[in-house]
């Protein structure tokens, strides 16, 4: 039995949906989650800065004694995958997990990818999907308004602002007749009902958070690293009150988790 925690980090609250999914299938595991709210959003930041921040966030998780680290952030996963792979503690990102899930499909229909601007700009999801699913068309769309809308509580189809954003962003994907939509940001699972309402039930939604949970569970079992007491510890570089107010929404629970405030790290560029 390995009681060390699983380290998970994200730029904001979205990674808590990965925590939620993991706790559902591995309730005994201890988890440390770091939300870098103080520097969010990541989507518009330059590449060199994102890579520097990836190393910093990995170090935060490692300092908490993590036995494995998961970047529940599509932006860092797509822009710093080599940094994750080279880190001394085993580290993975949503790119690995989501692509592996889609590669198992038996379909020739186009694949849609929605994510942050930085994720789409990197082209990492497209490249990985083209390699894993040869012959399938890949269409990526940046959705910069989704994260701020979700963190403002706009998550339902009946919300006019979210409905407009869904229609605007997904119109080209619907027109191309996609068969699968990859939610390349862990926030997006909270609006899956609105996405389904627009696209229709015939389109398969692949949630990065669910993929992450299954990926981590498999890795722990394969490497004999399972174990824990089911604890959850959260760290945030943002406002503690705001985190404790919004975290239950993403975790699907009423009470806020045990949370600590940590200083905002300088987002200086790589040297």
- Show which residues are catalytic: 73, 185
CA–CA gap between residue 182 and residue 43 (Å, rounded):
17
Cα 246 from chain centroid (whole Å): 17
Label residues 247-256 b or e (16+ Cβ within 10 Å = b).
bebbbeeeeb
Beta-sheet pairing, 180-183 with 111-115: parallel
CA angle 195, 32, 187 (to 5 degrees): 10
């Amino acid at each position: 039995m390995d009681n060390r925690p699983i380290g998970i980090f994200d730029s904001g609250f979205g990674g808590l949906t990965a925590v939620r999914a993991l706790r559902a299938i591995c309730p005994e595991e201890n988890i440390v989650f770091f939300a870098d709210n103080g520097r969010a959003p990541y989507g518009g930041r330059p590449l060199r800065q994102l890579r520097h921040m990836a190393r910093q966030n990995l170090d935060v998780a490692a300092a908490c004694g993590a036995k494995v680290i998961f970047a529940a952030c599509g932006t860092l996963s797509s822009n710093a995958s080599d940094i994750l792979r080279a880190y001394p503690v085993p580290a993975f990102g949503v790119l690995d997990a989501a692509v592996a899930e889609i590669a198992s499909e038996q379909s020739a229909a186009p694949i849609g990818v929605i994510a942050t601007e930085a994720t789409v700009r990197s082209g990492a999801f497209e490249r990985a999907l083209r390699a894993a699913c040869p012959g399938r068309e890949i269409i990526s769309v940046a959705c910069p308004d989704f994260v701020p809308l979700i963190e403002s509580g706009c998550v339902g189809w009946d919300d006019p602002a979210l409905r407009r954003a869904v229609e605007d962003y997904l119109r080209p994907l619907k027109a191309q007749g996609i068969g699968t939509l990859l939610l390349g940001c862990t926030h997006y699972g909270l609006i899956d009902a609105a996405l389904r309402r627009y696209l229709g039930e015939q389109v398969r939604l692949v949630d990065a958070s669910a993929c992450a949970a299954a990926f981590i569970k498999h890795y722990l079992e394969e490497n004999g690293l399972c174990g824990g007491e089911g604890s959850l510890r959260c760290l945030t570089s943002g406002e503690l009150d705001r985190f404790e107010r919004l975290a239950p929404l993403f975790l699907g629970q009423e009470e806020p988790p045990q949370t600590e405030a940590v200083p905002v790290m300088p987002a200086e560029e790589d040297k």
